């Protein structure tokens, strides 16, 4: 009986094992500072933890900012998104994000992925005017983050990518015509000259779950 109890404890410990990663807060602060300065209404910079092997979102158990012996909790979404607060003092103090990952590993395979995208609250009631503002602000953030020189080496900003809640069927693709392209992952690629196609998207009752930049290497 004692042996069985020990084996059960060992098995329980192995299943509850989780890895921890540490990320320099100054990385996050730099991007948040850009958004703070631009004060854009429609777009934001989001931080995700993505598994480098299968590109799935990592599952977060807990996230904090550590400065010496002090730890301050930060907001996060369990499915991979970190939402640290903006604090110049934590940057000056050398803050580190400590993130507990639910992956049953001792060494995490999660990498930080930074996305410029439309704010979730702006995904409803889309029209061509709003999409143009989103597109302009997405491009503005990318150029600001690249710097005065780096912006000239960015891939061409061609328009926006729309992620849908469900893949398009053949009839829906035909209804949208040749104005837009469908990427391999199912996202709609729309250039800035064709943003009025959103009216057709609305007619088809398609739900947009994310809007990100469409960049093309020339």
**pLDDT value at residue 152:** 84
**pLDDT value at residue 17:** 66
123 and 66 assigned to the same domain: no
Tell me what the pLDDT averaged over the chain comes to: 91
Across the range 132-157, mean pLDDT stands at 94
98 and 155 assigned to the same domain: no
Strands 156-164 and 188-191: antiparallel
Residue at 3 is within a domain? no
131 and 54 assigned to the same domain: no
| Residue 72 and residue 65 in contact, taking contact as beta carbons nearer than 8 Å | yes
Backbone angles phi, psi at 217, to 5 degrees: -80, 120
32 and 113 assigned to the same domain: yes
Q: Is 122 exposed, middle or buried (0-12, 13-18, 19+ CB in 10 A)?
A: buried
Across the range 68-81, mean pLDDT stands at 96
| Residue 57 and residue 49 in contact, taking contact as beta carbons nearer than 8 Å | yes
State pLDDT tens for residues 110-134: 999 999 999 999 999 999 999 999 9
39 and 65 assigned to the same domain: yes
103 and 24 assigned to the same domain: yes
**pLDDT value at residue 37:** 95
41 and 63 assigned to the same domain: yes
Confidence at 177, pLDDT banded by 50, 70, 90:
confident
Domain count, the chain: 2
Give the torsion through C-alpha atoms of 82, 83, 88, 93, to 10 deg: -40
131 and 99 assigned to the same domain: no
Query: Residue 134: which domain range?
Result: 119-216
Q: Which residue has the higher pLDDT, 177 or 24?
A: 24
54 and 130 assigned to the same domain: no
Domain end call among 117, 151, 182: 117
Spatial separation of the C-alpha atoms in residues 34 and 45, rounded to whole Å: 9
Across the range 195-206, mean pLDDT stands at 95
**pLDDT value at residue 9:** 37
Residue at 167 is within a domain? yes
pLDDT at position 169 over 80: yes
Domain end call among 92, 117, 142: 117
38 and 110 assigned to the same domain: yes
% pLDDT > 90, the chain: 83
165 and 89 assigned to the same domain: no
Domain end call among 55, 82, 117: 117
State pLDDT tens for residues 1-53: 444 433 433 344 444 568 999 999 999 999 999 999 999 999 999 999 999 99
Taking the alpha carbons of 162, 195, 189, 212 in that order, is the dihedral positive or negative?
negative
21 and 87 assigned to the same domain: yes
Spatial separation of the C-alpha atoms in residues 81 and 120, rounded to whole Å: 13
Angle subtended at Cα 101 by Cα 210 and Cα 112, rounded to the nearest 5 degrees: 50
**pLDDT value at residue 13:** 42
> The pTM is what?
0.87
């Amino acid at each position: 009986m004692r042996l069985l109890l020990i084996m059960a404890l060992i098995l329980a410990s192995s299943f509850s094992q989780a890895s921890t990663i540490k990320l320099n807060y100054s990385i996050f602060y730099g991007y948040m500072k850009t958004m703070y300065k631009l004060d854009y209404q429609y777009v934001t910079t989001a931080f995700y933890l993505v598994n480098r092997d299968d590109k799935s979102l990592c599952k977060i158990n807990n996230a904090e900012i550590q400065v010496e012996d002090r730890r301050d909790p930060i907001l996060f979404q369990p499915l991979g998104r970190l939402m640290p607060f903006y604090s110049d003092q934590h940057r000056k103090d050398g803050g580190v994000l400590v993130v507990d990952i639910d992956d049953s590993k001792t060494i995490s395979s999660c990498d930080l992925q930074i996305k410029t995208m439309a704010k979730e609250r702006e995904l409803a009631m889309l029209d061509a005017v709003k999409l143009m503002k989103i597109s302009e602000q997405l491009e503005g953030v990318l150029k600001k983050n690249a710097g005065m020189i780096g912006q000239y080496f960015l891939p061409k900003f061609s328009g926006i990518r729309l992620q849908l809640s469900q893949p398009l069927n053949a009839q829906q693709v035909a209804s949208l015509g040749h104005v837009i392209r469908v990427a391999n992952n199912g996202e709609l690629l729309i250039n800035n000259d064709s943003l009025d196609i959103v009216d057709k998207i609305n007619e088809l009752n398609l739900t947009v779950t994310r809007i990100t930049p469409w960049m093309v290497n020339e």
